[in-house]
Amino acid sequence: MRYLFLILSVLFSFGFVAIAEPRKSVGLQLLLSFSGAFLLALTIFDLFPEVYSVPEPESIGIFIMIGILLQIVLELFSKGAEHGHVHWDNSNTSFPWMLFISLCIHSFMEGLPLIDSSPILYGILIHKVPIAIILSMFLLNSNLRTSYAVGFILVFSLMTPLGSLLSSQLEIINEYRAQITAIVIGILLHISTVILFETSKEHVFNIRKLGVICLGFLVAYLI
| HEC letters along 139-167 | HHHCCCCHHHHHHHHHHHHHHHHHHHHHH
pLDDT at 219 over 50: yes
pTM over 0.85: yes
pLDDT at 92 over 70: no
Where b means 16+ CB within 10 Å and e means fewer, 47-79 reads bbebbeeeeeeeebeebbeebbebbeebbebbe
Domain range for 184: 2-17+24-222
pLDDT of residue 203: 47
In the chain, how many domains are there? 1
